[in-house]
Amino acid sequence: MKSIGGYVFPVLLVLLGGIVLVLALIDGQNAWVKLGAFLTLLTGVIALLLQIGALSRKAGLAIGVLCLAASVFLAFRNYRSVAEELEFRAAKDAYDTKIVQGLKDLRAAEERFKEANGTYTGSLSTLQDFVKNGTYPMIRAIGQVPDTLTEQQALEMNLIVRDTIRVSVLDSTFRTRKALEGRVYPFDPNTFINSPVTGKPFLLTAGMISSSGRNAPVVLAKDPSPMVPGDTLLFGSMEKASVAGNWKGD
């Protein structure tokens, strides 16, 4: 009579393979995980058949070799599936980082255009020309505000005056020290209207909507070729007066 100890390992393999296979089916795991669980279960069954003498040693050896080869292949595929997922996430993060920078540049240009013209533009060429050659109004305070007064009080007492000047869009918006800090890539007025990844023009729309009984300018800009279909980075809306981006942290 064979020792009961010889059945422990095969039974454990059957239980382990069966449990993992059921969980894989319930959780919707990929085919490699399911196949691996099935092979574990099958190996346990074969070991049990060998233990009770229902399977010859020769047949068991042949099946065992096949299972071993399949296990090695599955281990490699599981490793590659994890590695591929990590590689994809890294590539997606790098892609998104560049696109977000491009959308931020486009948004900054549109905000300056609105300050200068009272509305947004849906024309990329118009926006590009505005950034390269245009100006917008900036209000500056001339004089010094005493420590004991607010700026409004100093203004009312004529200690300071406000003056409106026009400044270069390119220099004041994209070439200041603050604007250059933390950029992903250098700003180029000749190419900022295009995706920094694919070179395709951003999708840009602008118009007017009625908001609280008044006309409000709106703008919407989108990535022209998202890396993942349906996961499009954008800012703005054609339904409400907002230039918020849909990326994390905006």
Tell me what pLDDT residue 1 has: 46
CB 111 within 8 A of CB 131: no
Tell me what pLDDT residue 194 has: 98
Span between the terminal Cα atoms of the chain, in Å: 72
Tell me what pLDDT residue 142 has: 64
Residue ranges for the chain with pLDDT beneath 70: 1-6, 9, 30, 32, 55, 60-61, 64, 67-68, 71, 75, 78-79, 140-143, 151, 154-156, 158-161, 163
Dump pLDDT digits (tens) for 13-35.
778 777 877 887 887 776 767 77
pTM: 0.68
User: HSE-up of 177 (CA within 13 Å, CB side)?
Assistant: 0
Tell me what pLDDT residue 243 has: 97
Dump pLDDT digits (tens) for 118-165.
999 999 999 999 999 999 887 766 667 777 777 677 666 766 667 677
- All structural domains of the chain with their residue ranges: 4-90, 92-237
Alpha-carbon distance 56 to 186, whole Å?
Answer: 71
